[in-house]
Amino acid sequence: MKYDVILAGVGGQGVLSVSAIIASSAMEEGLQVKQSEVHGMSQRGGAVYTNLRLSDETIYSDLIPIGGASLVLSMEPLESLRYLDYLNPEGQLITSSNPERNIDDYPDLDTLIGKINTLPHAQVIDARKLALEAGSGRAANMVLAGAASNYVPLKSETMEGYIRKIFQRKGDKVVETNLKAFQLGRENSK
C-alpha cells in the first residue's frame, strides 16, 4: 500500500499542522511516513505545500512523482490547482472554498470554483462555514482534515485521537470544537 498526499496552501495557513495530523496518525497505525516541508522564504505568505507519503514498504523519495498523489488537500481554492501534475488522474482533490486574497491578481472566485468543479474528482468545501458551525472559524483546517479522513487509508478514530492530544492543553471546549469540525468535514465530503 502506498498513499501520497499533497497538502497545499499559503504560508501561515497551517498546512504543516494538517499534514502532522495525517502523518502522526499513519505512524501510529504502523505505516512508514515521509513528510517533506517548505521552510524559509515561502512561509512569508507565499505558496507552500508538503509532500506527505505513507506506505507499508520503504519510501525512497521525499518527493512525490508526477501523477503519484492520491489526494490533493488544499486550504485555499487557487492553491488547489497548482499541483495537478502530481495528482493521479484517479486521485481526489479536496479544497476549501475560502480564498486567501493576498495578491492583486487573484482570479474571480466564481470562475475559479467553476473551474475546480470541472475536474473529475474534485470537492469544494466551505470549511470556514462548517468551522463556525462547530464553534470557531479557526477550526477550518480540522474540517479539511475531516474531509480527507474519508480518503486516507487511516482510521478516523486514530486521527481524532491525535486531534484530542494536540488540543488537550487548551481545554475540553477547544478539543470538542475541533472534533466537531473534523466530524462536520467528514460528513460533508463524499
Partner 1 sequence: MPEMVLLGDEAVAMGALHAGISAAYAYPGTPSTEITEFLIQNSKKNNGPSAHWCANEKTAYEAALGVSFAGRRSLVSMKHVGLNVAADPFMNSAIVSIHGGLVLVVADDPGMHSSQNEQDSRYFADFARIVCLEPTNQQEAYEMAREAFDISERFHIPVMIRLVTRLAHSRSVVQLSEPRTENKLEKAPEPNSWILLPSNARNQWHGLLDTYKEMQQYSEESSFNPLTLNSTFTDYAVITTGLAKNYYLENVPDLNEQPSHLHISAYPFPAEKIRSLASSAKKILILEEGYPFVERFLRGILPNGMEIIGKESGEVPAEGELNPDNIRPALGLESRTGSPHPDMPLSNRPPQLCPGCPHADSFNALKMALSGYGKSMVTSDIGCYTLAALPPYSAIETTVNMGASIGMAKGASDAGYFPAVAVIGDSTFLHSGVSPLIDAVAHNTNMTLVILDNETTGMTGGQPTILPSSRLEKVVLGIGVEPEHVKLIEAHRKFDEENSKVIKQEIEYNGLSVIIAVRECVETAKRHKREGGQS
Chosen residue from 44, 155, 170, 173 binding partner 1 by CB under 8 A:
44
Q: Rounded to an integer, what distance in angstroms lies between the CA atom of residue 28 and that of residue 44? A: 32
The verdict on 156 binding partner 1 (CB under 8 A) reads: no
Q: Number of residues in contact with partner 1, rule: CB under 8 A? A: 55
Residue 182 beta carbon to partner 1: minimum distance, rounded to whole angstroms: 22
Q: What is the DSSP string of 66-80?
A: TT-EEEEEESSHHHH
- Beta carbons within 10 angstroms of residue 127's beta carbon: 29
Q: Which stretch binds partner 1 (CB under 8 A): 108-116, 123-131, 144-152, 167-175?
A: 108-116
**CA Rg value for the chain:** 16
Q: Is 36 in the site for partner 1 (CB under 8 A)?
A: yes
DSSP alpha helix (H) spans, the chain: 15-28, 77-80, 109-118, 127-134, 140-149, 156-167, 172-187
Per rule CB under 8 A, is residue 17 in the interface with partner 1?
no
Q: Which residues bind partner 1 (CB under 8 A)?
A: 10-11, 23-24, 27, 32-47, 59-68, 78-79, 81-82, 84-89, 91, 93, 102-103, 105-107, 111-112, 115-116, 118-120
